[in-house]
Chains A and B, each alone.
Chain A
Amino acid sequence: MSLPSPQFNQLGTLQHFLTLDGLDKATLTAIMDAAENFTSVGDRMIKNVPLLRGKTVANLFFENSTRTRTAFELAAKRLSADLLNVDLVTSSTNKGESLLDTLRVLESLQCDMFIVRHGESGAADFIARHVKPTINVVNGGDGQASHPTQGMLDMFTIRQHKGDFEKLCVVIIGDIRHSRVARSGIAALNTLGAGEIRVVGPRTLMPTDVESMGVSWYSDLEKALHGADVVMGLRLQTERMSGITIPSSREFFATYGLTKERLALAKPDAIVMHPGPTNRGVEISAEVADGPQSVILDQVTNGVAIRMAVMSIVMGNAEPLREAAANGVLEDTPSNKKTNSTPSEKAGSPHV
């Protein structure tokens, strides 16, 4: 009874990459398989492939970001795309121009793909519903809602180190309530059939009815860590916390900080992940972040391969639509001015 997802185009293929909620296992696996092929590109003498040659990718960051923006930039360059970095944090959107006006301007610059980061939940979804049908939108993080490429690079890193998801016990510690990384990770872990997903933190950092998201809530970190295969820390989203959620970062570390002693309660071969930037001494101790079980830097490296995979897949999926538009068969105008006139999602499992 809800609005059909705008992720799929009229051909039933993945046009936009907005959220992992609703994508099936085959789709997630195909993205990881594609990323597998891209991991070696960075090791070559010539670090690029011509898949997106002649295409223009615009980084539209309405919110500050360093690592996500850099990873997308590098991914676009390794795919040989032309890249436009638009700093919207200090740009026209602060001068009263509406989000839609900004998009129309950038559409007129004949970009093929928008990478979007925005402070409002649902912003990527909104943008995808309002761009021309030939444009791809990739969500680089929207509000507290979704950060799907981060979710995928986390899954890819887990697969590299642990293989099958079904037997895994994954523990996610900290600020679930305000975290788009946690939402995307939890959606993907559920789809990939993870054995058990535990979220740990005080109630103030848990979304309402957190169990409805397919996880078990633990208030005690030490109990939660028993038998864990994967331990994920999250950055405390101090900028998204309204009011009081924790008394102090010192108390948070005392109660929920991931230390060497606590990590010893997990399985001996457990891996430690964190989306970064890490607040050492707040969510994680330095010796764990830099320790032998940490795969945090693997996550960073994998971030480029995953983004190359996502960008090349959605760009390829939109190619027939671009050709149709070029031949005048497809009307090259915004697909739906009204939210309720979104083209229906095609029945059956969508193709990647």
Chain B
Amino acid sequence: MEQMDIEKDLQTKGLILNMGPQHPATHGVLRLMLHLDGETVVKCTPYVGYLHRGTEKLCENRTYISALPLMDRLDYISSMANDVGYCVAVERLFGIEPPDRAKYIRTMMCEMTRISSHILWLATHALDMGAMSVFLHSFREREWLLDLFEMITGARLTVSYPRIGGVRCDVNREFLESLYKFTEEFPKRIEEYETLIDQNRIWLQRTKGIGVISARDAINCGLTGPTLRGSGVSYDVRKHEPYDAYDQVDFEVPVGKNGDVYDRYRCRMEELRQSNRIIRQCIKKMPDGPILADNSPELDMPAEGHRKLIPEMSLSHACISLSDECESIAPAGEFYSAVEVPKGELGFYILSDGSGKPYRMRLRSPSFVHASALPRLCRGHMVADVIALIGTIDIVLGECDR
């Protein structure tokens, strides 16, 4: 009786919880305002823009070549894929065709980046959900890949390796042997990670049925990559619009069924195996030849959009003459080009006015669109599921905010 009286007078109010920009589980500076009713999320509002660096505006003030290191820092975890995307976009705009060896090298590097990015995703996703040992086991492989990057390009994370028309330098035998050894050992390691979490009842309870989105809604929201493929839509830019050497290697695109967190996790784990397969094929099929196209622009490309002539003359003449130019390479026009980065579809819309600087460089980043889908996914779930959902959409704030 008394309890009923107390309950009649009890007034409940929703709680507004701020998951601030500094939070270990938000994978960067993402701020979430959660309106809670008890433990259930009624409304979720993400606030982004804490890592906005004005990349699009900066690109308008630099030549096409000088803008490349800015592209590294978009999704800093998979920087090689961003660079390749930019180079593919500019090559399609200019009409430059990279040589075959460069295409295979770029494909191989993109897939190495995909493995390394998915490993980091798995490590942080599992860490947030409580499975800490996966983080430590999987970073062993990531270190191997980062050492391989350092061997060739000189930097582990923000490589500025692809060039417009090819790649910056050649890969040597030591690199290919080490990479081949990696591809032989990696399938066993994937099984190790799966032993730790795949059948674990806690993992299954925390991921099955959470964040379900239907195929139609996912396409409407603009999701791409494994986030979309978990809902059953097999859209992969590598198959729909192949670039580099993707039309010459065999691989499958894993597709989920239910569209929940577990299916997206399975999609990414399968993608690890497929990437391994692609790398092996690239190493076996790698052709010999040049690595940079003949008509690719030089590093000190003038701002008028011409190619440089390398004069045969004396030492001093070669240094100071900046005006030896041959034909114009930058046509006036616009082009949209998309590549499949580990997070989804990265689109470059480049508008050129005939000079050596882009007039408008628009970056369509997958993380931006996925973060906008977060309110829809979170509705009706509990606070602990919000952590799982941030992990499953796999956002990197550098890409989201540019």
Query: Is B a genuine binding partner of A?
Result: no
Q: Could you tell me which B residues sit within 8 Å of A by CB distance? A: none
Binding site for B on A (CB under 8 A): none
